[in-house]
Chain A
Amino acid sequence: MKQQGKDIGLCLCKMCRQLNSTELTHCQRCQAELHIRDYSSLQKSWALLITAAILLVPANIYPITILTNQGQVRHDTIFSGILHLVNSDMLPIAMIVFTASILVPWIKIIGLSIYLCAISFDIPISKKKLMVGFHAIEWIGRWSMLDLFVISITVALVNMGQLLDAKPAPAATAFALVILLTQLAAKVLDTRLLWDRLEPQDDTN
């Protein structure tokens, strides 16, 4: 009973979600190119994801801010910044920052690689769970930007020389790239591939 669009000769435009016949090469409503399945998207997504995973290392080991407080210079990595928040009794804020800048990037990279593995290597994981996870990743991914916003506000506000001064440090660029690349990796992927590949093995999931 369950029919896919490509079996009945229909294809959804990725741009405007107009229903098109598979005979057409371009959408009849918005003239965007139509793909019944975009197989190259899998490779693109892998490439972006692996690059992001590599950049996650410098993002975490290099300092992300340099804070000068009355002559004392402190180099803070993402993690040591959070530890400092915990030590100064700001647990709720520490939890927000921890979620946004450590948990979310890791969940995104691990989750996406599980998802891509399931497509690439035909691993029989419940497709429904994978898809729910994918939507969650798409939604939560943007929240990593929180750390960059906080840095930009702090840097603009706190510039009083030796007394109190905040500056961004190299990890900020790496972290920005991690966010950008993981978001792109999720965006570029044609999720319909998952539902094609696993179909013969487990029909119920």
Chain B
Amino acid sequence: MHENAAENSITLCRSCDLAIRKRALPSGVRALCPRCSTALYDTPYCSVNGMLALCITALVFYFPANFLPVLEIHFLGSIRTTTVFQGAFAVFDQGYWLVGLAVLTAAVVGPGLLLLSILAQILIVKWGLNSVFWRKSLKQLLKFHGALSQLSMLEIYVISFLVSSFQLSDFSDIYFGMGTFCFTMLFLVTLFLQREYHLEHMWTLLEGHC
């Protein structure tokens, strides 16, 4: 094994395996690999309480965002509405289960699990739950965090409201519903939460609290 000091000051680029000496960074600055310009690390700063606040806010918006109507169509006197959740099931019902599954995962299940996972992580850290069970759960949550954050595609869904409303405005009148507002808020709060959240820092917290 190597000296502890050496291990702390050297890091490897995850894309090209270059050995790099770590330096202290001013806040808000990111270190890039000198060879392949992959992002390496940034200043590990995250306020646990700030993240908790953002996470709870996001969860408050989560249910109205997914179950309130996002678009309304007024066509020859009849009014139809749809929610994000119904959207996924509509394609599912038509037999395109793969498409339905993809939409459901990226817009409903992915973000939901991501928020729950972050909430659980924050609570474990905040309450200092030290038993073996909690440490194991925290470790599992951290391991799946990368995949979960890739699965949630809220930003793309927000753009797709706009695109579909413009497309359909060709045929009839389109109105946004309460769900649109909640979904956009869910997207914004989650965006700020993910800016605040640092996976690397969470890993050091896991090591720290043993």
Q: Closest Cβ of chain A: how far from B33's Cβ, in Å?
A: 9
Total chain B interface residues with beta-carbon distance under 8 A: 66
Q: Choose one: B94, B163, B164; the contact of A168 (CB below 8 Å).
A: B94
Chain A-chain B contacts (Cβ-Cβ < 8 Å), number: 191
The A-contacting residues of B in range 75-133, CB under 8 angstroms, are 75-76, 78, 80-83, 86-91, 94, 96, 98-100, 102-103, 106-107
A188 within 8 A of B: no
List the B side residues contacting A19 at CB < 8 Å: 7, 10-12
CB of B80 within 8 A of CB of A2, answer: no
The A-contacting residues of B in range 48-96, CB under 8 angstroms, are 70-71, 73, 75-76, 78, 80-83, 86-91, 94, 96
CB of B143 within 8 A of CB of A16, answer: yes
Chain B residue, CB-CB nearest to A130: B36
B1 within 8 A of A: yes
Bound-state Cα–Cα, A43 to B200, Å = 30
Q: Closest Cβ of chain A: how far from B170's Cβ, in Å?
A: 5
A44 within 8 A of B: no
Total chain A interface residues with beta-carbon distance under 8 A: 68
Known: A12-B14, A21-B2, A148-B103. A128 touches B36 (CB 8 A): yes
The B-contacting residues of A in range 146-191, CB under 8 angstroms, are 146, 148-160, 163-164, 167-168, 172-173, 176-177, 179-180, 187, 191
* Binary flags per residue of B153-171, CB closer than 8 Å to A gives 1, else 0: 1001101111110111011
B46 within 8 A of A: no
Q: Choose one: B12, B86, B96, B142; the contact of A12 (CB below 8 Å).
A: B12
CB of B99 within 8 A of CB of A194, answer: no
Q: Closest Cβ of chain B: how far from A187's Cβ, in Å?
A: 8
CB of B98 within 8 A of CB of A152, answer: no
List the B side residues contacting A93 at CB < 8 Å: 162-163, 166-167
Q: Choose one: B75, B143, B161, B162; the contact of A160 (CB below 8 Å).
A: B75
List the A side residues contacting B162 at CB < 8 Å: 93
How would you classify the secondary structure of chain A's contact residues: helix, strand, loop or mixed?
helix
CB of B38 within 8 A of CB of A176, answer: no
Which residue, of A31, A153, A159, has the highest number of chain B Cβ atoms within 10 A? A153
A142 within 8 A of B: yes
Q: Closest Cβ of chain B: how far from A19's Cβ, in Å?
A: 6
Bound-state Cα–Cα, A150 to B102, Å = 13
Q: Closest Cβ of chain B: how far from A136's Cβ, in Å?
A: 11
Known: A131-B38, A152-B88, A156-B87. A191 touches B16 (CB 8 A): yes
The A-contacting residues of B in range 1-34, CB under 8 angstroms, are 1-2, 7, 10-12, 14-19
Q: Which 10 A-B pairs have the closest CB atoms?
A: A149-B160, A156-B90, A195-B16, A131-B36, A152-B87, A156-B82, A5-B12, A192-B17, A156-B87, A12-B12
New A-B contacts (8) at CB < 8 Å, excluding given A30-B142, A142-B156? A96-B163, A149-B160, A154-B168, A157-B73, A160-B78, A173-B96, A176-B98, A195-B16
